[in-house]
Amino acid sequence: MRFLVDRCAGRRLAEWLREQGHDVVEVRSLGRDPGDEALLRQAADQKRVLVTIDSDFGALIHVRAQAHAGLVRLPDVPPATRIEVMAQILGGHSEEELASALVTVKGSRIRISRHSSAGSPARRK
């Protein structure tokens, strides 16, 4: 699976994803942060699931209908447990499912909304 890992999500998570055999690009390796809209566009263009703790990306998809290739938001997940949570998400969902999903983790709850790549709702789980 292909991921774009935001700076705030952490280097350890990005390294773990690589160790699992995933194709990972870290935002920190791209130089200066281009902003949320540009990152979401880059992830969509490269067909990468964006992993972040920033909740602004959900608004870009829901409100502005910005295209995406999947989003995993970990706003309430402490750095020490992000790998465990990602393992749970990846273990329970296929690449195809995650490519159009908005995954939000709050506490121990994982919520998955399905959206088309254009950002309009496709179906909810």
- Per residue in 57-110, pLDDT tens? 877 887 777 888 999 999 989 998 999 999 999 998 888 889 889 999 988 889
Token pair in block for residue 5: 């890992």
Q: Residue 125: pLDDT above 50? A: no
Distance of CA 120 to the CA centre of its chain: 17
Place of tokens 């699992």: 20
Strands (E), the chain: 2-5, 23-26, 49-52, 71-73, 101-106, 109-115, 121-124
- Greatest extent of the chain over all pairs of C-alpha atoms, in Å: 36
The confidence score (pLDDT) of residue 11 equals: 93
Q: Which residues pair with 77 in a beta bridge?
A: none
- Per residue in 6-56, pLDDT tens? 999 989 999 999 999 999 999 988 878 788 899 999 999 999 999 999 888
Query: Which amino acid is present at 81?
Result: T
The confidence score (pLDDT) of residue 91 equals: 93
Strands (E), 61-108: 71-73, 101-106
- Going from the C-alpha of 60 to that of each of 8, 42, 71, 83, 118, the distances in angstroms are 18, 14, 11, 25, 11
Place of tokens 């402490």: 78
**Domain spans, the chain:** 2-124
